[in-house]
Amino acid sequence: MEFVCKKTTELSKEDLHKIGSLFSEVFNQVRTEEVLLNQYLNNAFGTSYHVLMYDDGQLIGHNAGVPGYLMINGKKVSALNNVDLMIKEEKRGLQGFMMLVKKAWAFYKEQGIQLIYSLPNNNSHPLLVKLKFVNDIGKLYTYCLPYRIGGVKKGLAFANFLSKRLCKLWVFCSSILASEEVTTFRIQRDYESFERSRYKRSDGQYSFGELKGAKFVYKIMIHEGVRTAFIIDVYDKSKMAFCRAVNYLLKNESNNFDLILYVGYLPFVNIGLFRVPHKYEPKQFNFVGHVLNSEGLDDKDKNDYMDINRWDINLADDDII
């Protein structure tokens, strides 16, 4: 097996085409070369880092890291989101997996990256953890509001009127009880560099909303057959801001979705959405991390980095849906 490390800016058109083909083969999803480039170039560094794995000249594996900056207890630190780790099914094995990830970690270190985090799927998660490439930080939650229940479960279309009424009542009651207090996080994105490029990623189809001072980003799409409004990020994280985001969607977009989803981790409840218990989640969101280079970080920073309660984490960090 042969491994080639490249920045996105060094990938040829043929490389991108092969990565796209491998992606659709492994994940059964189409990603055009344009979408891939959007994904990999729109970050604070203007590039991502790739390891391409070849066998007999054929691309059989790939791993990418999307770099950026995190603020950890007020310090700006280079951090990278490890994404698109994939190996052709017939070529999978622990040895190859290990070599691919090892190469990636070494490449990231060479590029001056200090921290790695990732939201790996259930296939690669146990391998990454057991082979000690990462440690578990925690699991993200799925928060939901089934607005038009018939759109989520076809047989329940007769109950649409009721579910819509109940949702509005629920959000109204949540808004009465919700506090305006904004939660601060010890670990969050460096918003200044992040915002400049993040929402050009993927297909770039993100919407921005504001209601009574609460600002948020959302995306409406068909997800697994359901018209879904994803709340990607809410800027000031208070219970009230979430209620306002949900309220905004109900008032302005309710004809376009049947379900509202937010995926992330919040240290509070009562946000106008229901938190789905992990055992009932259709998809689990594993969250892992690794300190590559601890220069400038003290023990508190490193401990905080591995503690999900310190993180402001949600779909803004990764298009994992």
Alpha carbons 124 and 144: distance in angstroms, whole number = 26
Tell me the residue type at 11.
Answer: L
| Nearer Cβ to another protein (132/154) | 132
Helix (H), strand (E) at residue 23: helix 13-27
* Least separation in angstroms between CB 39 and another protein: 26
* Least separation in angstroms between CB 14 and another protein: 29
DSSP strand pairing (259-265 vs 58-72): unpaired
Structure tokens given for 102 = 């090892």
Chain center to CA of 45: 18
Q: Where are the beta strands (DSSP E) in 162-306?
A: 187-189, 207-211, 214-223, 226-234, 259-265, 274-276, 285-291
Residues in Cβ contact with 21 at an 8 Å cutoff, skipping those fewer than 6 apart: 59
164 lies in the site for another protein, by CB under 8 A: no
261: nearest Cα among 299, 291, 302, 219: 219
* 8 A C-beta contact, residue 231 and residue 263: no
Among 40, 97, 206, 305, binds another protein (CB under 8 A): 97
* Least separation in angstroms between CB 93 and another protein: 6
| Nearer Cβ to another protein (62/219) | 62
177 lies in the site for another protein, by CB under 8 A: no
Contact map string, positions 110 to 149, toward another protein, x by CB under 8 A: ----------------xx--xxxx----------------
- Judged by CB under 8 A, the chain residues 222 through 251 that form the site for another protein are none
- DSSP codes, 269-300: --SSSEEEPGGG-SS-EEEEEEES--TT--HH
3 lies in the site for another protein, by CB under 8 A: no
* Least separation in angstroms between CB 97 and another protein: 6
* Least separation in angstroms between CB 99 and another protein: 8
* 8 A C-beta contact, residue 231 and residue 260: yes
Alpha carbons 253 and 189: distance in angstroms, whole number = 28
* Least separation in angstroms between CB 96 and another protein: 9
Helix (H), strand (E) at residue 62: strand 58-72
- DSSP codes, 28-56: S----HHHHHHHHHSSTTS--EEEEEEET
How many residues sit close enough to another protein to count as binding (CB under 8 A)?
12
94 lies in the site for another protein, by CB under 8 A: yes
| Nearer Cβ to another protein (13/132) | 132
* Least separation in angstroms between CB 249 and another protein: 39
* Least separation in angstroms between CB 126 and another protein: 6
Among 28, 95, 184, 255, binds another protein (CB under 8 A): 95
Strand partners, 139: 286
* Least separation in angstroms between CB 116 and another protein: 16
| Nearer Cβ to another protein (41/134) | 134
Cα separations in angstroms, 33 against 16, 236, 321: 6, 34, 19
- Judged by CB under 8 A, the chain residues 64 through 93 that form the site for another protein are 92-93
| Nearer Cβ to another protein (46/126) | 126
| Nearer Cβ to another protein (24/123) | 123
Residues that bind another protein (CB under 8 A): 92-95, 97-98, 126-127, 130-133
